[in-house]
Chain A
Amino acid sequence: MSVSHADCSSWSYRLSGVRYDYGSGSVLEIDELVIPRGQSTCLLGPTGAGKSTLVRLLARSIEPSSGRVEMAGDAVGSDRRPSVAMVYQHPIPLRRTVFENIAYGLRVRSESRQDIQVSVDRWLEVLQLTDLAGQRADRLSGGQWTLVALARALVTEPDVLLLDEPTANLDPARVQLVERVVAEEQRRRRCTVVWSTHHLFQARRVADHVVLLWEGKCIEEAETKTFFESPSDPRTRAFLDGKLVF
């Protein structure tokens, strides 16, 4: 991997010896992993591979049982800690309007009413949700609500955007919309994006960098082109050939 472990300007996360136990066993064991800064990284793997656990560790929603999840900005004397927003695989709406759901991250940051209005209106328009602004978010269809959940993360303009299978319940048109909007935002602000997906083709479309997880272990990480064209691990090769069923 080309990212230097010593240069913290090039990475957003650095994991070493991370283990996460659940119940009687370990669901995630990662010796070393670096999430590059300002790039789109895809965590690829089948259901149960540990993708969601890894994303939640990056969001610091959970703590590792052992090992270290280091984030750029953690070190004393470094730049400010990057802001993080996450879209969960099963996002939970607040029982408020779509507008209020999207505005939530700005309200907790005490943004001005005018700034909130402008920012929320912009994301409503970008994600084609303007007509739904006044509707209760908990009464939307699954697809509509997923877009609102994405908007409420994007509106905070995070330095790191974590997406846990955000398109799993979307129709192809909305998948395309989400992929396009996230890619544009990532390019515009050079933010770090981490997607988890079990969809091979989506990884190829959205990622600069791919990490393959298998039974809680990271078995391959590489730039997207290298990952798909000349993977080093035989299991990756088998997976790309369709011999490992996802």
Chain B
Amino acid sequence: MVSHEIFPIVWLTLRVSGTAVILSAAAGIPLGAYLGLSSHVLARVLRWMAHVGMALPPVVVGLALYLLLSRSGPLGGLGWLFSPQAMIAAQTILALPFVVAIAASAVRAVPHGLAEQLRALGASPRQVRRSILFEARQGMALAVAAAFGRSISEVGAVLIVGGNIAGHTRVLTTAIVLETSQGRFAMALALGTALLAIAAAANAVIFVFQSRTGMP
């Protein structure tokens, strides 16, 4: 495999995982924040479910999604099986519990009495909620980092629903599996290095954000 073969794989990896992170963050941060602020029993149940979701085996998610998206499945009409869309869906499902659970924990880690004290300074309930979310901003960044880590390192689900089709659904992790199975360890290591470099760069951005907002 030469460089002109690697770049499309890297690009697809970034596109699939990046979209999955954006989708899981867009849905998971508001949901996690809401669950973190709520003391309702249903919110507690959903927080517990999010924690359980962090342990979802990717191959099980891949299998379930495969059955849903296969031609005879309930979502077969979408025509997503063996497409990047299916891979994005799989990674979003896997990343979402991480975002929800960490965002909820970040909100709950804000000191308990802060809401009352902010109200006593004249803030409306809506302003109080916004302030608490802002206080939890470093935890939110951690949630995004966790979602990215879960997405980009995942192999089982994208292999099942994507099919590892060259030039179409082959991402870095599935390419590494293929190269390794063919005994091309040097190329597998090169792809692994590229994967690590992407992870390092993405987390550097998140780390800088956390540093600027005061994470020690």
Known pairs A88-B117, A95-B214; A109 contacts B131 (CB<8 A): no
A84 adjacent to B118 (CB under 8 Å): no
Please name all residues of chain A whose beta carbon is closer than 8 Å to the beta carbon of B121 when the two chains form the complex.
Answer: 85-86, 104-105, 108, 152-153, 156
A92 adjacent to B122 (CB under 8 Å): no
Contact pick for A94, options B119, B124, B131, CB 8 Å: B131
Q: Does A175 contact B (CB under 8 A)?
A: no
Shortest Cβ gap from A246 to chain B (Å): 25
A104 adjacent to B118 (CB under 8 Å): yes
Please name all residues of chain B whose beta carbon is closer than 8 Å to the beta carbon of A85 when the two chains form the complex.
Answer: 120-122
Shortest Cβ gap from A56 to chain B (Å): 8
Q: Does B127 contact A (CB under 8 A)?
A: yes
Tell me the bound Cα distance from A84 to B122 in angstroms.
Answer: 7
List residues of A (85-109) whose CB comes within 8 Å of B's CBs: 85-86, 88, 90-92, 94-95, 104-105, 108-109
- The interface on chain A, measured as residues whose beta carbon lies within 8 A of the other chain's beta carbons, has a size of 22
Q: Does A33 contact B (CB under 8 A)?
A: no
Shortest Cβ gap from A222 to chain B (Å): 28
Q: Does B179 contact A (CB under 8 A)?
A: no
Q: Does A15 contact B (CB under 8 A)?
A: no
Known pairs A92-B113, A92-B114; A61 contacts B122 (CB<8 A): no
Tell me the bound Cα distance from A156 to B131 in angstroms.
Answer: 18
B120 adjacent to A92 (CB under 8 Å): no
1/0 contact trace for A43-68 toward B, CB 8 Å? 00000000000001001010000000
List residues of B (29-52) whose CB comes within 8 Å of A's CBs: none
Known pairs A94-B135, A95-B214; A109 contacts B122 (CB<8 A): yes
A108 adjacent to B117 (CB under 8 Å): no
B124 adjacent to A108 (CB under 8 Å): yes
1/0 contact trace for A149-174 toward B, CB 8 Å? 00011001000001000000000000
List residues of A (104-127) whose CB comes within 8 Å of B's CBs: 104-105, 108-109
Please name all residues of chain A whose beta carbon is closer than 8 Å to the beta carbon of B123 when the two chains form the complex.
Answer: 104-105, 108
Tell me the bound Cα distance from A94 to B113 in angstroms.
Answer: 12
Contact pick for B127, options A84, A92, A108, A152, CB 8 Å: A108
List residues of B (169-189) whose CB comes within 8 Å of A's CBs: none
Shortest Cβ gap from A164 to chain B (Å): 10
Tell me the bound Cα distance from A83 to B122 in angstroms.
Answer: 8
Please name all residues of chain A whose beta carbon is closer than 8 Å to the beta carbon of B127 when the two chains form the complex.
Answer: 108
List residues of B (95-141) whose CB comes within 8 Å of A's CBs: 111, 113-114, 116-124, 127, 131, 135
Which residue of the partner chain B has the closest CB to A153? B121
Tell me the bound Cα distance from A91 to B111 in angstroms.
Answer: 10
Shortest Cβ gap from A160 to chain B (Å): 11
Q: Does A136 contact B (CB under 8 A)?
A: yes
A92 adjacent to B117 (CB under 8 Å): yes
B117 adjacent to A91 (CB under 8 Å): yes
A61 adjacent to B119 (CB under 8 Å): yes
Shortest Cβ gap from B171 to chain A (Å): 37
Tell me the bound Cα distance from A156 to B120 in angstroms.
Answer: 11
Contact pick for B116, options A61, A83, A84, A152, CB 8 Å: A61
Tell me the bound Cα distance from A109 to B94 in angstroms.
Answer: 41
B113 adjacent to A156 (CB under 8 Å): no
Tell me the bound Cα distance from A95 to B118 in angstroms.
Answer: 13
A156 adjacent to B122 (CB under 8 Å): yes
Determine which residue in A83, A91, A104 has the highest number of CB atoms from chain B within 10 A of its CB, and name it.
Answer: A104
Known pairs A94-B131, A108-B127; A88 contacts B214 (CB<8 A): no
Please name all residues of chain B whose beta carbon is closer than 8 Å to the beta carbon of A152 when the two chains form the complex.
Answer: 121
Tell me the bound Cα distance from A171 to B195 in angstroms.
Answer: 56
- 10 A-B contacts (beta carbon < 8 Å): A86-B117, A88-B117, A92-B113, A94-B131, A95-B213, A95-B214, A104-B131, A108-B121, A109-B122, A162-B120
What 8 new A-B contacts, CB under 8 Å, besides A92-B114, A94-B114? A61-B116, A85-B122, A88-B120, A92-B117, A104-B118, A108-B122, A108-B123, A153-B121
Q: Which residues of A does B touch, CB under 8 Å?
A: 56, 59, 61, 83-86, 88, 90-92, 94-95, 104-105, 108-109, 136, 152-153, 156, 162
Q: Which residues of B does A touch, CB under 8 Å?
A: 111, 113-114, 116-124, 127, 131, 135, 213-214
